[in-house]
Chains A and B, each alone.
Chain A
Amino acid sequence: MNNLITIFLSMALLNNFILAKFLGLCPFFGVSKKLSNALSMGVAVTLVMFIATVATWFINHYILIPFDVQYMDIVIYILVIASLVQIVEMAIKRTNLTLYNALGIYLPLITTNCAVLGITLINATEAYSLLESVVCSLGGGIGFTLVLIIMSGIRERLELADSPMSMKGLPVALLTAMLLGLTFFGFGGMI
């Protein structure tokens, strides 16, 4: 149990996907201007991460390892993720059209989100059990969402602030990420 809590907190806070591992940066800088979008994006990514983790765990343990074809992992994982995103996209389109339009192009872009493929690779490298993998992916996804939300709140304010011309937009967002990252280092003493 202790181990699971450590994995969860480590993935969510200290080894935060965006601030420490640099995974999931594209949507981080693109979507995070509005709080509602940030939340939806975070939840969508966490969902895909979760399903992808479970799916790839089974593929890894029942197909790749027994048949000794682990070198196929990259190809298979990414195809599984691509299909998953398609399915999630269709599901959102059917149930919540406003959300679908709000997320726009960033929804299919979850396929190329480093966080999703990243979590499947992390689980495979660390040879986690199914439970550990699930905890890891949830921790990572929630941490991702958390940072996305914090960032959107800050960016809403930044839009109104008077930054120098060359800093406007992406540069100042990057500097904010730096400050956030430094703050998250404080979580190191927690465990």
Chain B
Amino acid sequence: MKTTSFWKEFTKGMVISNPLFVLVLGLCPALAVSTSVDNALGMSIGVTFVLLGSNIIISAIRKIIPNMVRIPIFIVIIATFVTIVNLVFHAYVPSLYESLGIYLPLIVVNCIILGRAEAFASKNPLLHSIADALGISIGFMLALLIISFLRETLGTGSLSIFGANLFTLPILGEHPMAVFVLPPGAFLLMGLLLALLRRLGVIKSE
């Protein structure tokens, strides 16, 4: 029974409770870094680390956190993990650190992380919290990859991962639809994707 529960928590984060498409949390950094697949991957790794770390610690000490100060405690824990990611990225992947810019430290106010801490990790056992963190992170990464794939391909006509050019489209390669790598394009894509997912019945309409 415990294994089924783990699997359920794990998969829930990917579709039913997909953080970007369903819960619509954490849009700010998501739309900002989705200009390229590289950035999207980097951001996802950062979010995964922070979510996993904070969920684990908060779940582990959930029984002794005084209720009155729980939000500040959550914030300190999350901010600590974000700072670690910030420092490590700065030291070991400086080009990624530069392109993510202020959106990397902004993970700390990403509603996803505080939301999961408050709604789940503080009330559930360690193993389930880990499953939740992993599921939500993967859901976030999948959604972000879809958005950034579309933005980079349509907006620049080619796709590169870690400097290796994967492909360049024939017509778009020379005349890409630049609007997609610009901010309005992000709004456009997000709106259309949400509408499409609702139409397909994957998520519910209002």
Q: Interface residues, chain A, CB within 8 Å of chain B?
A: 19-26, 29, 71-72, 74-75, 78-79, 82, 111-114, 116-118, 121-122, 125, 164-175, 177-179, 181-182, 185
Contacts and interface: CB of A to CB of B under 8 A. Distances in A.
A24 B28 contact: yes
A171 B31 contact: no
Contacts of A75: 76, 79-80, 83
Interface string B165-190: 00000000000000100111111101
Interface of B: 24-25, 27-29, 31-32, 71-72, 75-76, 79-80, 82-83, 86-87, 101-102, 105-106, 108-111, 114, 179, 182-188, 190-192, 194-196, 198-199, 205-206
Contact of B195 (A29, A121, A166, A178): A166
A74 B28 contact: no
Contact of A121 (B32, B105, B114, B182): B105
Contacts of B114: 112
Contacts, number: 124
Contact of A74 (B32, B72, B83, B194): B83
A82 B191 contact: no
A15 to B, nearest CB: 10
A171 B195 contact: yes
A20 B31 CA distance: 10
A71 B29 CA distance: 21
Contacts of A23: 28, 106
Contacts of A169: 205-206
Contacts of A112: 109-111, 114
A130 B199 CA distance: 50
A143 to B, nearest CB: 13
A121 B182 CA distance: 22
A149 to B, nearest CB: 18
Contacts of B206: 168-170
Contacts of B184: 19, 177-179, 181-182, 185
Contacts of B106: 23, 114, 117-118, 121
Contacts of B27: 22, 25-26, 29
Contact of B102 (A122, A164, A170, A182): A122
Nearest to B196: A166
Contacts of A175: 187-188, 191-192
Contacts of B190: 174
A75 B82 CA distance: 9
A178 B191 CA distance: 9
B50 to A, nearest CB: 11
Contacts of B87: 71
B72 A79 contact: yes
Contacts of A178: 184-185, 187-188, 191
Contacts of B102: 118, 121-122, 125
